[in-house]
Structure 1
Amino acid sequence: MPRSIQSNNFEKEKLPKNAPVTSEYARTIKCHRVEAYEPINWLILGCRDFFAMPIISGFYGLCFMAAAVAIVLLIQWQGTHLVIMPALIIFMLIGPFLALGLYDASWACEKGHQPSLLHSMRAIGRNSVSQWAFAVLLAVAMMFWMRIGALLHALYPSVTGAPWQDFLPFLLIGSAVGIVLATIVFAISAFSIPLMMERRVDMMTAVFTSVNAVRSNLLAMALWAAIIGLGVLIGFATFGVGMLITIPILGYGTWHAYRNVISRRHH
């Protein structure tokens, strides 16, 4: 029996035995257009799942908190901001894999199953090749971002105590480049991970589908990006403690966003 349809009933329900197998590569799965306020509903559903699954929420919250604390301590130990980007690259590598467990837990609730921590941890290996490829893609994007930042640092005033006007080129150009790169990273990652987990699609199909969905729902996704950014900011501002709450809620909310936006497979 193929691995994709073995194990327990939960797995069988996700991928029926007679489900058609497609080898189509780098396709774009259709998406729905949603109202601009829908991210508020995703956040509410994320909060509902957070309280419904305290053990799973606490476990993944602790994992993300530990990663955030490690980054903060590394910055303090090194005494320089130059380690921020390398640390964030590592965070970008492990973050998507940890989030898989949150998506799996919400999916189990959606199916009417009892979510379990062990089952959610097994989600990491459900489409490991595509997931690792995507993690490497994110890491490369972050390293490119870091290189651009190093080049822009040439615009930083070399004179100590320079007037604020001398900082404008660095701040304006740096902010513009940062917004563009952050938008690209968000667009390719908004729905890619849950899509690769649920349907086991290849990385390029997940990326194309995610970009298309974000482009088709600009207002809603801009609001969702702002909510995610605020949640991560709260997490780091509280020395990682806030991530015990914010990241699990955002993870569950991302699954509900995926279900709301990406067209479902028909059997």
Structure 2
Amino acid sequence: MATETAGSKPLNTVASQQRTTYTVNTVTADDIKASLKAGFSDFVSRPMMSGFFGLFYAVFGILFVWCLVWLGKVWMVLPAAVAFPLIAPFAAAGLYEMSRRLQRNESFGWSEILTVMANQRKREMGWMAFVTLFILWIWFYQFRTVLVIVLQDSSFSDLEGFFRVAFFTSEGWTFLAIGTCVGAFLSAVLFSFTVVAMPMLLDRDIDFITAMLTSVRVVTENPAVMLAWAAIITVTMLLSLVPAFLGLIFTLPILGHTTWHLYQRAVTPTLANG
């Protein structure tokens, strides 16, 4: 694993200390196409291992929705469906490591991938999890607040009743309009913070602040292309939820592998004297 600093200072001599800086490159539609092609190739190379991460994510989604219905929190199903794609980068950590090793032609098995994932708890990934969960908490809180204010006179006891009120009443349309605007803003913030930060944290020995700031720079310097990538991720993930979450077995691994290759194209580490 590469480290952020390199070199050492000899005793009684003055030597320049080297540090790693990260250059944000221009990302084009061709980069997304090439990354998707490389991501699909990685999936085909190890379909069983890649599919395992997609299956794990799908099972988690099924159990999560079942728990919400069982607890009577049917109103949370809609915001959960929107937030579900936003936590995919954590589920894809093993996929990033697989792509990294495939890129270097290194052999690996389950133990190597799972060990790397387990070791992330000792690094900065935990702080990224905190940032993500904090933003998701704001999303659920504001959703509940808008629901109470706008749909205060409506009642529903099941998922079908909630969807009927939300999609077929004027109050429901107001509720969806406000929720969509706020959700889009929070999703954009979280996407900007994490789109390359997650693979970068796995690849480089850096702090999560540097990873997030680099990720934001990638988005702000390539807004149109990264917006297109965000749309691809969102639409693909939401469509994958339709067949009982089973589409995630294939789409999550491909998108995860693709994200790694897009990160490699978007960010270039360089050594600088400091």
User: Any gaps of 5 or more consecutive residues in structure 1?
Assistant: 1-13
Verify: 1:156 aligned to 2:156, yes or no.
Answer: no
Partner of 1:11: none
Two-structure CA RMSD over aligned residues (Å) = 3.2
Partner Cα distance (1:92, 1:131) in 2: 18
On the 8 A contact 1:38/1:220 being kept in 2, the answer is no
Select the residue among 187, 191, 214 that pairs with 1:182.
Answer: 187
On the 8 A contact 2:43/2:253 being kept in 1, the answer is yes
Partner Cα distance (1:131, 1:149) in 2: 27
Partner of 1:135: 129
CA pair 28-138 structure 1, distance change in 2 beyond 3 A: farther
Partner of 2:256: 251
More deviation, 246-255/92-101? 92-101
Verify: 1:241 aligned to 2:246, yes or no.
Answer: yes
Larger RCO: Structure 1 or Structure 2 (Cα < 8 Å, ≥ 6 residues apart)? 2
Partner Cα distance (1:172, 1:90) in 2: 17
CA pair 220-55 structure 1, distance change in 2 beyond 3 A: same
- Could you tell me the percent identity over the aligned residues? 27
- 3-state SS of the aligned residue for 2:188? helix
Verify: 1:145 aligned to 2:150, yes or no.
Answer: no
User: Any gaps of 5 or more consecutive residues in structure 2?
Assistant: 9-16, 156-164
Partner of 2:44: 51
Structure with greater Cα Rg: 2
Identify the structure with the greater strand proportion: 2
2:242 maps to a residue whose letter is: A
* Structure 1 length-normalised TM: 0.81
On the 8 A contact 2:36/2:258 being kept in 1, the answer is yes
Select the residue among 9, 33, 38 that pairs with 2:26.
Answer: 33
Instruction: State the 1:244 CA deviation.
Output: 0.7
Partner Cα distance (2:87, 2:188) in 1: 20
Instruction: State the 1:236 CA deviation.
Output: 1.5
* Structure 2 length-normalised TM: 0.79
